Amino acid sequence: MIRTRNLTKKFGALTAVDNLSLSIARGELFSLLGLNGAGKTTTIKMLSCLIRPSGGSARVMGKDLVKEARDIKQKINVSPQETAVAPNLTVRENLRMIAGVYGLTKDRIRFRVNEMIDVFSLQEVRDKKAKLLSGGMQRRLSIAMALITDPEILFMDEPTLGLDVLARRELWTIITKLKETTTILLTTHYMEEAEALSDKVAVMIKGKINASGTVKDLLETTNTQKLEDAFIRLNQKEA
């Protein structure tokens, strides 16, 4: 579904992503782990066609990341790190707007809006303006806006950042259900989240993939019991 070869992004003298090569299969949930500034968000920005790579190549759904960006954009969606909603629009209007922008038919829009409202338990606030919602509810809406278009690939940049424990667990349940139909690339700082959700994980350090595989693979490689310990060991080793 996603295959990169030596994908690189430089900002002046800084190499944010350095010769990244990875492969994500259809229906897989792949987590990118890393400290702040490791290159996770830059990787998502490149793979979602927001920024152009400085080098290397990538194919998303068999299409070239640079030359066929328009085709790719139609079939992917992103849940950005910050909540991204239109503040003066209601929950329903926000969902309808994004679905329309992606070209869904009117009937499909109506169906998907109601579906997202149900899935994300937004019934009570569906006619409330987004700016009046709590932070957690805004986050849910922001993620629902990423899912309403039925993307084949969903990029989730720290989706549970700022959510309370209950809201986080609810979102895990939704993500677990999504795995049946959608390929997901997720970045997170929460190791228990990656452990609970991921089919595969990769640890990024200074723009490079330091280790990748299943959680079990990483634990074996680092001779640890928990993903957090494995993550710390890999980072300490690199330091």
Partner 1 sequence: MKYIYFAGRNSKEILRDPLSLILAGVLPVVFIVLFSLISRNAPIEVFQPVNIVPGLTVFGFTFITMFLGMLIAKDKSSSFLTRLFISPLKPRDFILGYFIPVLPMAAIIAVSCLVTGLFVGIPLSVKLVYTFLSFIPFVLFSGFFGIFLGILCRETQVMAIGNIYIIASALLGGAWMDLEILGKTLKNITDFLPFSHAIEASRIVLSGRQENLWLHLGVVCLYALVFFVLAVFFFRRKMRSDNS
Q: Which residues bind partner 1 (CB under 8 A)?
A: 48-52, 70, 73-74, 76-78, 80-89, 93, 96-103, 129, 145
Cα dihedral 119/121/124/125 (nearest 10): -80
Please identify, using beta-carbon distances, which residue of 134 and 176 lies nearer to partner 1.
134
Beta pairing partners, 154: 77, 184
- Single-letter residue type at 234: L
The dihedrals phi and psi of 228, each to the nearest 5 degrees, come to: -60, -45
Minimal distance in Å, beta carbon 98 to partner 1? 8
Task: For the CB of residue 27, give the shortest distance to partner 1 in the complex, in Å.
Answer: 22
CB closer to partner 1 out of 49 and 230: 49
Instruction: From 26, 21, 5, select the one nearest 184 (Cα to Cα).
Output: 26
Output the smallest distance, CB 183 to partner 1, in A: 16
Q: How far is the CB of 134 from partner 1 (least distance, A)?
A: 17
Cα 193 to chain center, whole Å? Answer: 13
Residue 190: CB atoms within 10 Å: 16
Closer Cβ to partner 1, 102 or 190, answer by number: 102
Helix/strand/coil for 61: coil
Q: Which is nearer to partner 1, 48 or 188 (CB)?
A: 48
Distance in Å, CB of 198 to partner 1, minimum: 23
Beta strands, E only, 151-199: 153-157, 183-188
| Of 93 and 195, CB closest to partner 1 | 93
